[in-house]
Amino acid sequence: MQREYLEDKETLYFKFEQNKDDFIVDEIGVDFKGKGNFLILKIKKVEITTWDMIAAFAEFLGIEAQKIGYAGLKDKHATTTQYISVEAKYEKALKKFKHSNIKVVGKTYHTHSIRMGDLKGNSFTINLFEVDQIMAGQIEKRAMKIIKNGLPNYFGYQRFGRDQDSIEQAKEMISGELHISDAKVKNFLISVYQSQFFNDWLVDRVVFSRENNNGEFALLEGDIYMDVKGKLFTPKTTQEKDFKEHKVVPTGLLCGRDVFRARDKARVVERKYDDEFLYEKGYRREAIIFPENLKLDYKNNFDILTISFSLPKGSYATVFLEAIANRNYKAKKLK
């Protein structure tokens, strides 16, 4: 299903590429203690996956990859910085670590290993090409409005495979037509299945909002909200004031067991995108997020606009660009 956005404006045809020079990602870590039994390394990696980076450290230290902590996966085709953790006893050995695609750019200490999700978010710096002065102004205006009204928190095209074939495999596996023995592949396909339901639900809510609420995300009775600390709650009334002040956001369902379902009018929509028989653990995800720290630098003579911003963890920079451009991107071609 096509990802839809809150404002259905003229399509902008700027270009961008995910490569080491034009797509920069910096992990925003948690507040490390500065002391403890674990060494925290700030890593800059270029054109290498997080998995391969972890494997390189594990091989150098002669330990299992599972003993190296990390908070999230970062793009291969980019220059990225992220944090990893190892036991502090390896600090001396790591002084001799060398790799053409990996560089240690900082260190500190912490009381425990980094766990998946131990980050606040990510900041991005992306070069947009073929942008004239008029388009640069349009991009700035649209980005500012998204920051005010919120960005639909879709899973980006990266979630669903290069040819969007992962969702079909997931459906076949869940229906029993396809047997998957590899636990990692199975878990990945389950997450793809849940993500597609979430995206389709969000399209429904966004289109409704566009048609009935002047392009601002419409809250419904029975919505489940998340506050700034990540706590879920279902109030008796819609949270218009706190939502506009970015204190709470409505959430969407990643279907599965042991997860809160919406109620009332919100549940009427949600039920259409819920597999109540799915045994795997369910979750709720922010339906709307608010990008921050927007900066724009226009290089007039080269028709290049450099856009910088930060997003909460689990959100996609390409979704922000899609909302600005009012078009969907695909993995094969970014034009």
The set of residues, in sequence order, having a beta carbon less than 8 Å from that of 159 and lying 6+ positions away, is 166, 191, 192, 195
pLDDT at 287 over 50: yes
Find the angle CA(151)-CA(188)-CA(155) to the nearest 5 degrees.
10
Does residue 1 surpass a pLDDT of 90?
A: no
- pLDDT of 230-268, one tens digit each? 999 999 999 999 999 999 999 999 999 999 999 999 999
Residue 124 burial (C-beta neighbours within 10 Å; 0-12, 13-18, 19+): buried
Question: What is the pTM for the complete model shown?
Answer: 0.92
* pLDDT tens, position by position, 156-191: 998 887 666 788 888 889 888 888 888 878 888 999
Is the separation of the CB atoms in 325 and 9 below 8 Å?
no
Q: Which residues contact 6 (CB under 8 A, 6 or more apart)?
A: 146, 149, 150, 152, 206, 209, 210, 215, 216, 217, 323
Neighbours of 158 (CB within 10 A): 14
Place of tokens 């670590």: 97
75 classed as catalytic: yes
In this structure, what token pair is assigned to residue 67? 């003993």
CATH code of 31-117, in short, is 3.30.2350.20
**CB atoms < 10 A from the CB of 277, how many?**
9
pLDDT value, residue 334: 45
pLDDT at 335 over 80: no
Amino acid letter, 239: Q
CATH fold label, 151-289: Pseudouridine synthase (3.30.2340)
User: Who contacts 105 (Cβ-Cβ below 8 Å, separation ≥6)?
Assistant: 42, 43, 44, 81
| Span 207-222, average pLDDT | 96
Single out the catalytic residue among 22, 26, 75, 274: 75
The residues spanned by each domain of the chain are 31-117, 151-289
Residue pair 84/114 in contact (Cβ under 8 Å)? The answer is yes
Q: Give residue-wise pLDDT tens across range 74-112.
A: 989 999 999 999 999 999 999 999 999 999 999 999 999
Domains 31-117 and 151-289 share a fold: no
Tokens of 156: 């980006």
How far apart (Å, rounded) are the C-alpha atoms in residues 172 and 183? Answer: 16
Helical axes 166-175 vs 183-212, angle rounded to 10°: 110
Q: Which residues contact 167 (CB under 8 A, 6 or more apart)?
A: 160, 161, 192, 193, 196
How does strand 232-233 pair with strand 225-227? antiparallel
Cα–Cα distance for residue pair 130/16, rounded to 1 Å:
9
